[in-house]
Amino acid sequence: MKKFAKYLIASSLVVLLSGCLTQQTVTSNGSVISQDYVFKRPLKDAIENTENQ
C-alpha cells in the first residue's frame, strides 16, 4: 500500500510539473514586434482555470 501511495504522488508531481518550451511571436501588420521563448504548463493551467471558475 505504501508503494502505491509513493507511485501515485510521484506520478501526480510529474503531470503537474510537466510542460513545454514554445516560441511566442507577436506580429502587427505582417511585421514581427517581439519574439520570445515561453515555458507553458498546459495541464497545470487547465487545473487552475477550472478551480477559479
Q: What is the pLDDT of residue 36?
A: 93
Q: What is the pLDDT of residue 19?
A: 80
The tens place of each residue's pLDDT in the chain, 53 residues long, gives: 688 888 888 887 777 677 888 899 999 998 999 999 988 877 777 777 787 76
Q: How far apart are CA 13 and CA 16, in angstroms?
A: 5
Q: What is the pLDDT of residue 53?
A: 65
Q: How far apart are CA 19 and CA 47, in angstroms?
A: 14
Q: Which domain holds residue 14?
A: 2-52
Whole-model pTM: value is 0.44
Q: How many domains does the structure of the chain reveal? A: 1
Q: How far apart are CA 53 and CA 49, in angstroms?
A: 7
